[in-house]
Structure 1
Amino acid sequence: MKSTFPKGCILALSLLASQVMAAVPADEAARLGTTLTPLGAQKEANANGSIPAWTGGLPKDAGKVAASGFLANPFAGEKPLFVITASNAEQYRDKLTDGQMALFKRYPNTYRMPVYPTHRSATVPAGIMDAARKSAVQVQETNNGDGLSNFEKSGYYAFPIPRNGVEVLWNHITRYVGGNYKRSYIQVTPQENGAYTPVRFEEEQVYPEQIADFPPERKGSILYMVKQRVTAPARLAGTAVLAHETVNQTVEPRLAWVYNAGQRRVRRAPQIAYDGPGTASDGLRTADNLDMFNGAPDRYEWTLVGKKELYIPYNSYELESPTLKYDDIVQAGHINPDHTRYELHRVWEVVATLKPGSRHVYSKRHMYLDEDTWQLAEVDHYDGRGQLWRVAEGHALFNYAQQTSYLAVETLYDLMSGRYLALGMRNEEPSTTQYGQVAKYYDFTPAALRTDGLR
């Protein structure tokens, strides 16, 4: 007999049918906010103090905030402790990724990493800390880690005390990004000589619990909804994409639609997932490269290597400064290192290996996630021959006014072609990310997508 339940209800019932077990025992979860930070990082400093103890992150009044939302750099007066270059990289090899070493080799005369004092600046609002505690004792893997059960009871940081690689990844996917937001940004794909055409996006991302008219039957099955529109250059303007990110994409695949300005039609877009081409990326990124990694984890085996200390992009306030032009940042080979900042931080190390019988252009992804934010900081991508192909870096900063972390720019370097992609720049935009957006469910439906494309 054919089921009369809506699709969302079937998913909810299947999740409830799973055996519900605590992710960690209550006494272990009690370490959050005591011996561990509220999000599960080590509180203490490292052995020589080069990574300080976490003391609560930056307060909301850590610096001046412009009316446009751009943040003053609370560390503007600091100078680099030292600079890593191709000539001295081997000296720091134990704290560099294979991808970073490859960039020194690929661009020996221009690529460098200025290393500054480490500041553990990140935190989240108290309510998000409470959500992480709930997740620790309530959220469980389903489908061998491809989905989550009970996540709707907390909403953030599915596994703050992770036990395996896929749980570490889920913390990146379910991290707090400030709630509903709206932003415009630039993506560039420079030629080998540095010439580029900026592609401008407008993007909104919203969450079910922050949408008053969100359908009750879909709650628990949707993580978030995102809408993206290209506004420049003219040849690409009008293209719009809508995606509903699901909790378990092996049970209910990501729902995606695209509005093609030339055809003036809205169509389902299953290609906006996995290794489908990234929008307007000139073939330099896959759909799941956005945000360093997004989407379903089901095509890979996730191995947790452990923790290590690495030099990673951090407190990248200068890279978002409105005093910079895009021409100041974009150059041949890689972004301008004059405006980058690296610090020594502890990271979680996870290796994703393509499962036998699964398809993806990346056979392996070597990932490094910041312990304080669960944001991916570095990802090395290997091709089907096992050769290092692309190197991703997330230049993170902490929005002290909103108590959330995000990326000033994310870069993806193609070692073979000598080209790269830089995404998320807002320096010449009238404002930076805007939080607290009021959203209606209808505005994130396929019916509304055509209107967005025509604006």
Structure 2
Amino acid sequence: MKTITMLRTSALALSLLATSVIAAVSPQEAAQLGTTLTPLGAQKEGNADGSIPAWTGGLKPDAAPLDANGFLGNPFASEKPLFVITAATVDKYKDKLTPGQLAMFQRYPDSYKIPVYKSQRTAALPSDIYDIAKKSAVTTQLINDGTGLANFTDTRYYPFPIPKSGVEVYWNHTNRYRGGNMVRQAAQAAPQTNGSYAIVEYNDSLAFPQKTDGADPAQTQNVLYFYKQEITAPSRLAGNVVLVYETIDQLKDPRMAWVYNAGQRRVRRAPQISYDGPGSGSDGMRTADNTDLMNGSPDRYDWKLVGKQELYIPYNNYELQSPKHKYDEIIKPGHINQDLTRYELHRVWHVVATLRPGERHVYAKRDMYFDEDTWQLAEVDHYDGRGQLWRVGEGYALNDYHSRSPYYAMMGIYDLIAGRYNVLAMTNESKLATSFGAQAKMSDFTPAALRADGIR
């Protein structure tokens, strides 16, 4: 009986530990937001030598004119690089580059380069989002060993603007402001080693329950957003549709996903659209959770907050997004055309995610670097089970000054071993620019709607 009692007591202790709540920050700490810190928790001041300026509010909505199809103009079109890092000069700058960037120089010494421009702290969001972040700071709490959130459904953005752990930094990335509901025509490619490629075109949309007509608050309380992707080209893939309900706490309610296969004309549940399942249309060059550089539940990893550092990261990539550049000009062997990219010196949060014992994922470790001003992932180094650096992820960031939202001009996942890569979320040849803030209907985000979407 004593043994049984001890076992029950131990089980209860473990249960309490698993569901324990980690406290939010104090009101005194949260008072730094918008005063000594930016409203999202970044250091307001610049760095010691002035190469990173102070944040003064970011870009204004009229920073540059939009074209007739809504594409952003480049507020920094007249600027030239301060310098260009090449394989011959990389050692001079290696303290401000990631291991993945250094590996790209080694893998492609004749073509890979990093043009470094003057740093511009352009992040600017709506004032109500800043208010939400301040509320989140004092209310949102980690539960289930960091894999879930409590007291978050009323705010839904930036749960930890003053983070105390690595997993809190990741939660800010997954729950960052994305301009509201989004509709986009986009493309991706997975070039061969010689640079030949086939474009995969798709329409996708992102909608949040609180901004979706017909969404039942009782049933969507744990839903972060709805996502739908319809492939429109090439013909062998056209008509395939994916629907995802991304949940806030994926241990409580795992991600729900469905696929409509145009060839089979059937809608099926798709549990493989998560973790290390193959990324849709990527020719095996990325995992499902490589979209957005990383997405989904953090439960398979242990998270370590290394701290802040200064790095050259892709930033303000308005030129790379411009419709004047066609995909042929962007897609090159080994990596995208680095002449079109823009890198700047910024402070980042460095976080290391290491696969937990007993868990499975093709990436045994992810070395992650998050922009302090937006919480958006900038760089990710992916290591395989042997501890070898395998893939390098870069997010070519910009800030939509018109909709006041940070996002990516495109993303690249570079396979150092295969010599190939996947570039996704390109919009250069789309008929219309990405649209933010649209009203959505719940009837468009149901499994029953997939068949109608996928009819060729």
Query: TM (normalized to structure 2)?
Result: 0.95
CA RMSD of superposed structures (Å):
1.3
After superposition, give the CA deviation of every residue in 1:246-294 in whole Å (9 maximum; x if it has no partner): 1111121100000001100000000000000000111100000000000
Cross-structure match for 1:66: 67
Asked whether the equivalents of residues 314 and 395 of structure 2 are also in contact (C-alpha less than 8 Å), the reply is: yes
d(CA) in 2 for partners of 1:390, 1:298: 21
Unaligned runs of 5+ in 1: 1-17
After superposition, give the CA deviation of every residue in 1:6-30 in whole Å (9 maximum; x if it has no partner): xxxxxxxxxxxx7777510001000
Cross-structure match for 1:335: 336
Cross-structure match for 2:56: 55
Superposition pairs of residues 233-272 of structure 1, within 5 angstroms: 233-272=234-273
Counterpart of 2:378 in structure 1: which amino acid? A
Residue 213 of structure 2: SS of its match in structure 1? coil
Cross-structure match for 1:205: 206
Cross-structure match for 1:6: none
Find runs of 4+ consecutive structure 1 residues off by over 2 angstroms.
18-22
Cross-structure match for 1:114: 115
Cross-structure match for 1:228: 229
Cross-structure match for 2:391: 390
Unaligned runs of 5+ in 2: 1-18
Cross-structure match for 2:190: 189
Structure 1 position 216, deviation (Å): 2.2
Asked whether the equivalents of residues 21 and 142 of structure 2 are also in contact (C-alpha less than 8 Å), the reply is: no
Cross-structure match for 2:12: none
After superposition, give the CA deviation of every residue in 1:102-131 in whole Å (9 maximum; x if it has no partner): 000000000000000000001110010001
Cross-structure match for 1:216: 217
The reply on whether 1:325 has 2:326 as its aligned counterpart is yes
Structure 1 position 212, deviation (Å): 3.0
Asked whether the equivalents of residues 20 and 143 of structure 2 are also in contact (C-alpha less than 8 Å), the reply is: no
Q: How many residues align?
A: 440
d(CA) in 2 for partners of 1:87, 1:291: 32
Structure 1 position 223, deviation (Å): 0.3
After superposition, give the CA deviation of every residue in 1:61-101 in whole Å (9 maximum; x if it has no partner): 11101231111100000010000011111110110000000
Structure 1 position 213, deviation (Å): 1.6
Asked whether the equivalents of residues 213 and 439 of structure 2 are also in contact (C-alpha less than 8 Å), the reply is: no
The reply on whether 1:430 has 2:434 as its aligned counterpart is no
Structure 1 position 436, deviation (Å): 2.1
After superposition, give the CA deviation of every residue in 1:403-444 in whole Å (9 maximum; x if it has no partner): 001100100100001001100111111111112222111211
After superposition, give the CA deviation of every residue in 1:336-365 in whole Å (9 maximum; x if it has no partner): 111000000000000000000000000000
After superposition, give the CA deviation of every residue in 1:301-351 in whole Å (9 maximum; x if it has no partner): 010000000000000000111111100100111101110000000000000
Counterpart of 2:126 in structure 1: which amino acid? P
After superposition, give the CA deviation of every residue in 1:148-185 in whole Å (9 maximum; x if it has no partner): 11111112101100000000000000000100010011
After superposition, give the CA deviation of every residue in 1:171-220 in whole Å (9 maximum; x if it has no partner): 00000010001001110000000000000011000001101321121232
Cross-structure match for 1:176: 177
Cross-structure match for 2:11: none
Residue 440 of structure 2: SS of its match in structure 1? coil
Cross-structure match for 1:274: 275
Asked whether the equivalents of residues 151 and 220 of structure 1 are also in contact (C-alpha less than 8 Å), the reply is: no
Query: TM (normalized to structure 1)?
Result: 0.95
d(CA) in 2 for partners of 1:54, 1:217: 40
Question: Percent same amino acid among aligned pairs?
Answer: 62
Cross-structure match for 2:82: 81
Cross-structure match for 1:351: 352
Cross-structure match for 2:137: 136
d(CA) in 1 for partners of 2:444, 2:187: 23
Asked whether the equivalents of residues 152 and 219 of structure 1 are also in contact (C-alpha less than 8 Å), the reply is: no
Cross-structure match for 1:12: none
